[in-house]
């Protein structure tokens, strides 16, 4: 029996099959290569010595999972050796050391810690930590059989040392070898509009390892995607080989149904090309998504955003304490800034403005005054200077800003009094930008999602460009924060805020 495509669907993937053995499933064979000459390989960035080493594999063929980069494997061997030495307070016996190294490498390989397609730093560290937990159990069993005198504390030191070193070296390799990430070519397949969306996401995102070498779409009609393009999904396996793709990113559509995807996986198997199926979801953190099964049906479970609960209460309490302590410590500095504002222009040092907080509740936000006193009444005179493409009002060289106000805005010092709003529970240290009531009136249903949490003094919008961002990008960053909130995310944003303030990008 052979698999054929339905009539009227010439661009459907149709694998060429060989006669099946008795009681077996037909084995797909590689389609005949296209008569067109393969495109010239894209020139990637210049490789550093470390990046070049990252691109090397232990072996030259076979399953991607069993081809760990040489540098990572060597680092894991050293991690196991250091863990053994730390736990034994000296030089361990050679058989014990060899057994530990083999076990550690096997655990890391089994959990795909060498898989190049694991693009998230957090996921890589999480996998290593999971292997460290299993290592404790494995060493406990081994100690019972080989070293009965070993203590539980030594097992814990061993596992923690190996995990810490292996995780740290992955983060360092990822940081030093960013040039190597650009050299993993992929082919994106699907309908043109969805392919363009995936390409836009990959271009926008940071930290992934993929470079788009080509695309495969049903028809030639539509705008140019800017990369080599092939029409007809039946040519997809051949195109992947021609472009030297290490993976194919598939966006499911009516032409790529489940059975067709299964056949495509069979065909890509022969060339060692991985198949990655896009879920169609965007801005979903790895911690919120997991694969579950209903029988043999794989289901992607996306956890709801954490808007309430114990961790939210813990965050709110901790923020109030931190804000109160910061106000006490910064009181002399704030007094000096207030005197500078008063000396620079007549009027009060502090400025109060009504903003909209969580669930649409209005509150009075406090700032150091950075404009002239009658700035609100003079807004009509600068309306023509508005540079925003959305509901915001932004002017890069606003004539209403005072000399001291320009300095305060440059380093975000005018926002320090908002610590009072944090103490009152009206704002958070981290959160979406606090909007004006007239801005909220122009929100659509999606944008109102920003009001599901308390606004923040800083947030993804600030560490990603602040006023230089478009309105669409600002909303998207705020929604990403709301949906993917975690204590770890808040800490990362706070750390990035220091750099954003010192660089003062988009501050005006």
What average pLDDT score do residues 59-67 get?
37
Strands 210-217 and 229-231: parallel
pLDDT at position 415: 93
pLDDT over 70 (residue 389): no
Q: Highest-confidence range of 215-224, 300-309, 332-341, 384-393, by mean pLDDT?
A: 332-341
Choose the weakest-confidence range: 204-208, 256-260, 356-360: 204-208
Rounded mean pLDDT, 234-258: 89
d(CA 124, CA 51): 18
Average pLDDT over residues 28-57: 40
Query: Is 209 or 415 the better-scoring residue by pLDDT?
Result: 415
Kindly tell me the sign of the dihedral angle through the C-alpha atoms of 371, 375, 381, 384. positive
- 182-280 has which fold? Rossmann fold (3.40.50)
Between CA 152 and CA 146 the distance in angstroms is 14
CA distances from 375 to 367, 383, 431 (A): 14, 12, 27
Query: SS3 for 86?
Result: helix
Binned at pLDDT 50, 70 and 90, residue 385 comes out as confident
Residue pair 109/63 in contact by the 8 Å Cβ criterion: no
Report the pLDDT value the prediction gives residue 443, as an integer from 0 to 100: 93
> Crossing angle, helix 403-410 and helix 310-344, to 10 degrees?
150
Residue 24 has pLDDT above 60, yes or no: no
User: Tokens standing for 450?
Assistant: 């920003």
Q: Where are the domains of the chain?
A: 50-178, 182-280, 310-503
Most confident region among 115-119, 382-386, 466-470, 490-494 by mean pLDDT: 490-494
Q: How confident is the model at residue 11 (pLDDT cuts 50, 70, 90)?
A: very low
Judged by average pLDDT, the poorest of 23-37, 149-163, 203-217, 481-495 is: 23-37
**pLDDT at site 296:** 80
Q: Identify the band that residue 137 occupies on the pLDDT scale cut at 50, 70 and 90.
A: confident
For 317-365, write each residue's pLDDT tens digit.
999 999 999 999 999 999 999 999 999 988 899 999 999 999 999 999 9
The DSSP result for 350-417, as a single string, is EEEEEEE-GGG-EEEEEEE--B-TTTTTTGGGGGGG---SSS----TT-TTB-HHHHHHHHTTGGGGG
Taking all residues of the chain, what is their mean pLDDT, rounded to a whole number? 79
pLDDT of residue 397: 76
CB 119 within 8 A of CB 208: yes
- Pick 68 or 149 by higher pLDDT: 149
Mean pLDDT throughout 40-63?
40
Percentage of the chain modeled with pLDDT above 70: 79
Give the Cα separation of 446 and 416 in Å (integer). 30
pLDDT beyond 70 at 456 = yes
β-sheet bridge partners, residue 16: 29
Residue with tokens 């302590």: 325
Buried-state track 296-309, b at ≥16 Cβ within 10 A, e below 16: eeeeeeeeebbeee
| pLDDT tens-digit map of 77-88 | 998 888 888 877
Could you tell me the pLDDT band of residue 119, with boundaries at 50, 70 and 90?
low
Are residues 256 and 189 in contact, defined by beta-carbon separation less than 8 angstroms? yes
pLDDT digits (tens, 9 = 90+) for 260-313: 889 999 999 888 888 999 888 888 887 788 888 888 888 888 888 888 888 899
DSSP for 36-58, please give it. SPPPPPPP-PPPPHHHHHHT-BS
Residue 43: predicted pLDDT? 41
pLDDT at site 92: 66
Q: What is the pTM of this model?
A: 0.68
**Residue pLDDT, tens place only, 148-189:** 666 777 878 888 899 999 998 888 877 665 544 456 899 999
């Amino acid at each position: 029996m052979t698999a054929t495509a339905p009539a009227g669907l010439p661009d459907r993937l149709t694998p060429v099959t060989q006669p099946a053995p008795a009681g077996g499933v037909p084995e797909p064979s590689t389609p005949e290569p296209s008569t067109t000459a393969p495109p010239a390989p894209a020139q990637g960035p210049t490789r550093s010595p470390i990046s070049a080493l990252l691109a090397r594999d232990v072996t030259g063929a076979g399953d991607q999972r069993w081809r760990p980069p040489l540098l990572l494997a060597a680092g894991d061997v050293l991690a196991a050796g250091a863990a053994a030495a730390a736990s034994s307070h000296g030089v361990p016996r050679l058989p014990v050391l060899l057994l530990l190294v083999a076990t550690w490498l096997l655990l890391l390989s089994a959990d795909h810690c060498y898989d190049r397609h694991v693009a998230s730093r957090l996921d890589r560290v999480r996998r290593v930590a999971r292997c460290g937990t299993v290592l404790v159990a494995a060493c406990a069993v081994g100690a019972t059989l080989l070293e009965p005198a070993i203590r539980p504390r030594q097992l814990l030191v061993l596992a923690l040392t190996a995990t810490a070193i292996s995780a740290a070296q992955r983060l360092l390799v990822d940081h030093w070898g960013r040039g190597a990430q650009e050299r993993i070519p992929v082919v994106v397949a699907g309908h043109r509009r969805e392919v363009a969306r995936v390409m836009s996401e990959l271009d926008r995102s940071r930290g992934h390892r993929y470079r788009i070498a080509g695309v495969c779409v049903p028809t030639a009609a539509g705008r140019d995607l800017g990369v080599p393009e092939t029409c007809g999904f039946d040519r997809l396996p051949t195109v992947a080989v021609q472009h030297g793709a290490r993976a194919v990113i598939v966006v499911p559509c009516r032409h790529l149904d489940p059975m067709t995807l299964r056949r495509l996986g069979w065909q890509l198997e022969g060339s060692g090309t991985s198949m990655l199926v896009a879920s169609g979801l965007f801005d979903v953190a790895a911690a919120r998504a997991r694969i579950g099964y209903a029988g043999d049906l794989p289901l992607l479970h996306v956890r709801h955003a954490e808007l309430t609960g114990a961790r939210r209460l813990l965050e709110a309490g901790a923020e109030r304490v931190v804000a109160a302590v910061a106000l006490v410590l910064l009181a002399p500095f704030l007094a000096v800034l207030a005197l500078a504002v008063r000396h620079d222009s007549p009027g009060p040092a502090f400025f109060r403005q009504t903003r909209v907080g969580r669930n649409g509740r209005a509150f009075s936000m406090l700032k150091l005054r950075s404009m002239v006193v009658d700035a609100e009444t003079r807004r009509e005179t600068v309306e023509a200077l508005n540079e925003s493409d959305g509901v915001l009002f932004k002017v890069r060289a606003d004539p209403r800003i005072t000399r001291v106000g320009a300095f305060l805005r440059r380093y975000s010092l005018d926002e320090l009094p908002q610590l009072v709003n944090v103490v009152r529970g009206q704002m958070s240290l981290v959160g979406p930008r606090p909007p004006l009531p007239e801005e909220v009136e122009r929100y659509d249903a999606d944008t109102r999602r920003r009001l599901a949490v308390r606004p923040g003094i800083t947030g993804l919008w600030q560490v990603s460009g602040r006023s230089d961002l478009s309105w669409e990008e600002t909303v998207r960053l705020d929604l990403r924060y709301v949906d993917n909130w975690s204590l770890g995310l808040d800490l990362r944003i706070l750390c990035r805020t220091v750099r954003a303030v010192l660089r003062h990008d988009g501050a005006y």
